[in-house]
């Protein structure tokens, strides 16, 4: 006995089409969920990378600030070393007192002073630099693992301006200054006559280097 298909063909095709449509919708929904999940994962990865970049930038900024602070501290240390060298130089040699003593010993009559300036000036490193200051600089450089830089020699100088009765008196005063143990150089920077109602005097300006002479007594 043969089987009879009582389901109309149109209805069967419609049901098949509906089932396929449902499968397609399910597949499309799964694909959409997969896309959303992928986008979420990528977004989380991008956010993590951005956070890592931000952390690296923050570390770079901190490193730059630390480097700037280190350089500033190094400059401060060098400035302090220079000040300590100057203090050691002044403590080790009473230049100002010796200069005044030399000036008093060399003074002659008919010489007057308007202004005396005593100052220190950096000269090239050499045998005249203070030993204690050089040792302090070397020790500080060794503590910081950097090469020692020779300390600049501090020259003690004086400028004086005034008047003398004549050139002979001025020349005598300069010769007496040159014979003083602590006066290494005496330079005549300027000289000119000045006429007053009852006299003619010589204006002068001298420059002195105050250092112990080689082979001389301290």
The terminus-to-terminus CA distance of the chain in angstroms comes to 145
Categorize the per-residue pLDDT at 131 as very low, low, confident or very high, splitting at 50, 70 and 90.
very low
The two three-digit tokens of residue 215, written as one number: 């082979």
214 band by pLDDT with thresholds 50, 70 and 90: low
Instruction: Please check whether residue 138 lies inside any domain of the structure.
Output: no
CA-to-CA distance for 90 and 187, rounded, in angstroms?
Answer: 24
Q: Which of 211, 41, 15 is nearest to 129 (CA)?
A: 211
Which pLDDT score is estimated for 204? 94
Q: Give domain status of residue 135, yes or no.
A: no
Within a domain: residue 1? no
pLDDT tens track for 149-193: 445 566 788 899 999 999 999 999 999 999 988 888 899 999 998
> Tokens standing for 45?
């990865």
> What pTM, to 2 d.p., does this model score?
0.45
- Cα 189 from Cα 33, distance rounded (Å): 95
Residue 136 has pLDDT above 50, yes or no: no
Least confident window among 2-6, 40-44, 78-82, 174-178: 2-6
- Of residues 27 and 12, which shows the higher confidence score? 27
What's CA 40's distance to the chain center, in Å?
52
**CATH code, domain carrying 204:** 3.30.1360.100
Domain that holds residue 73: 8-92
Is 216 a member of any domain?
no
Please report the pLDDT score of residue 189 as a whole number: 92
Residues 88 and 99 in one domain: no
Q: Identify which of 147, 142, 201 has the alpha carbon closest to the alpha carbon of residue 169.
A: 201
CA distance 204 to 71: 47
Per-residue model confidence (pLDDT) at position 9: 73
What is the rounded average pLDDT of the residues 118-134?
Answer: 54
Does the pLDDT of residue 148 top 90, yes or no?
A: no
For residues 17 and 115, membership in a common domain is answered with no
Pair 197, 112 in one domain? yes
**pLDDT band (50, 70, 90) for residue 15:** confident
Q: What's the domain count of the chain?
A: 2
Predicted pLDDT of residue 104: 87
């Amino acid at each position: 006995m043969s089987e009879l298909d009582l389901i109309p063909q149109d209805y069967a095709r419609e049901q098949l089409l509906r089932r396929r449509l449902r499968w397609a919708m399910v597949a499309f929904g799964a694909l959409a969920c997969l896309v959303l999940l992928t986008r979420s994962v990528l977004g989380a990865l991008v956010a993590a990378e951005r956070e890592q970049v931000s952390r690296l930038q923050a570390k770079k900024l901190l490193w730059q600030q630390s480097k700037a602070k280190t350089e500033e501290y190094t400059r401060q240390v060098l400035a302090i070393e220079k000040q300590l060298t100057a203090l050691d130089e002044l403590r080790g040699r009473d230049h100002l007192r010796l200069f005044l003593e030399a000036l008093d010993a060399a003074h002659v009559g008919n010489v007057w002073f308007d202004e005396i300036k005593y100052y220190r000036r950096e000269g090239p490193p050499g045998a005249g630099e203070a030993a204690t200051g050089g040792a302090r600089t070397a020790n500080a450089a060794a503590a910081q693992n950097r090469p020692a830089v020779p300390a600049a020699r501090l020259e003690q100088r004086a400028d004086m301006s005034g008047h003398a009765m004549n050139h002979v008196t001025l020349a005598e005063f300069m010769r007496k200054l040159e014979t003083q143990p602590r006066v290494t150089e005496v330079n005549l920077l300027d000289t000119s006559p000045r006429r007053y109602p009852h006299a003619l005097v010589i204006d002068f300006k001298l420059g002195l280097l105050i250092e112990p002479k080689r082979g001389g007594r301290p």
